[in-house]
Amino acid sequence: MKIATWNINGVKARIDTALAWLKEAEPDVACLQEIKSVDENFPREAFEKLGYNIETHGQKGFNGVALLSRHPFDEVTARLPNDEEDEQTRYLEGVISVPSGVIRVASLYLPNGNPVDSPKFPYKLGWMERLERHARKLLQEEEPFVLAGDYNVIPEPEDARHPEIWEGDALYRPETRRAFRSLKNLGLTDALRACHADERFTFWDYQAGAWQKNIGIRIDHLLLSPQAAGRLRGCEIDAHVRGWEKPSDHVPIWIDLDMEA
């Protein structure tokens, strides 16, 4: 079972690119971020034609997350718990039925947090705290789940081509990295690092020829519960998509889970 996540940077601008990638990659589940669309305007039909059930949690102009699944959704929940006063659409979680059981998959778009001397940084850290609290609760169920999305976190120096440039940035601040470590230390597995030790990126800036010079960062992650990690067969980044026409600045990253029996 293939589960992918991709910050598409606008579903309207990316519809052709997204459909081309879905046809090529054929994921069972795709978590999308930054759809930048209200739910009513999401181009459902185009994705439905490829066989996907669709759930969205969007807002006008910014943010917005979606879940596409070839298997049916048993239940879907938007927002993290204790999020009621937050008008930003950044979290959507679905329980998906597969022949051998169920798997819970979340599409998340963690706040950027810059500039760090603005309220945006404490908002990011608060969001990470709520995510950790929620993950702790999910772990008590002892079931397979995947927290997938744009974390806006560079976990380690080797996850950036030029880590020194990110010193002080909200994506790499000690508080941010500590919060990400704390989340993982609950017992979650960083799927990419479970499969590969070398330098791999998921984002290349549009500016200054970052893609051509391979000046990238790894900020899109899939964190797996122990029950999901036990089924992990592989994790890959579809970096070639960054070289397509009209690319997002992020590329898809996916896992293959053995969900037989």
Partner DNA sequence: ATGGCCGGCGCAGCCGGA
Q: Least CB distance from residue 88 to DNA, whole Å?
A: 8
Interaction residues for DNA, span 28-57 (CB under 7 A) = 34, 36-37
109 in catalytic set: yes
> Measured between alpha carbons, how far is 188 from 197 in angstroms, rounded to an integer?
17
From the list 24, 26, 48, 60, which residue makes contact with DNA (rule: CB under 7 A)?
Answer: 60
Contact 191, 235 (CB under 8 A): yes
From the list 62, 76, 86, 193, which residue makes contact with DNA (rule: CB under 7 A)?
Answer: 62
Whose Cβ is closer to DNA: residue 170's or residue 229's? Answer: 170
CA atoms within 13 A on the CB side of 170: 19
**CB-based contacts of 88, cutoff 8 Å, min separation 6:** 59, 62, 63, 111
Give the total of residues touching DNA (CB under 7 A). 40
From the list 210, 222, 223, 251, which residue makes contact with DNA (rule: CB under 7 A)?
Answer: 210
The encoded tokens of residue 42 equal: 């999401």
150 in catalytic set: yes
Distances (CA, A) of 112 to 63, 123, 125, 258: 11, 9, 10, 33
Strand partners, 2: 256
Active site residues: 109, 150
Chain contacts with DNA (rule: CB under 7 A): 7, 9-14, 34, 36-37, 60-63, 111-112, 114, 120, 150, 152, 160-162, 165-166, 171, 203, 205-210, 213, 215-217, 219, 246, 249
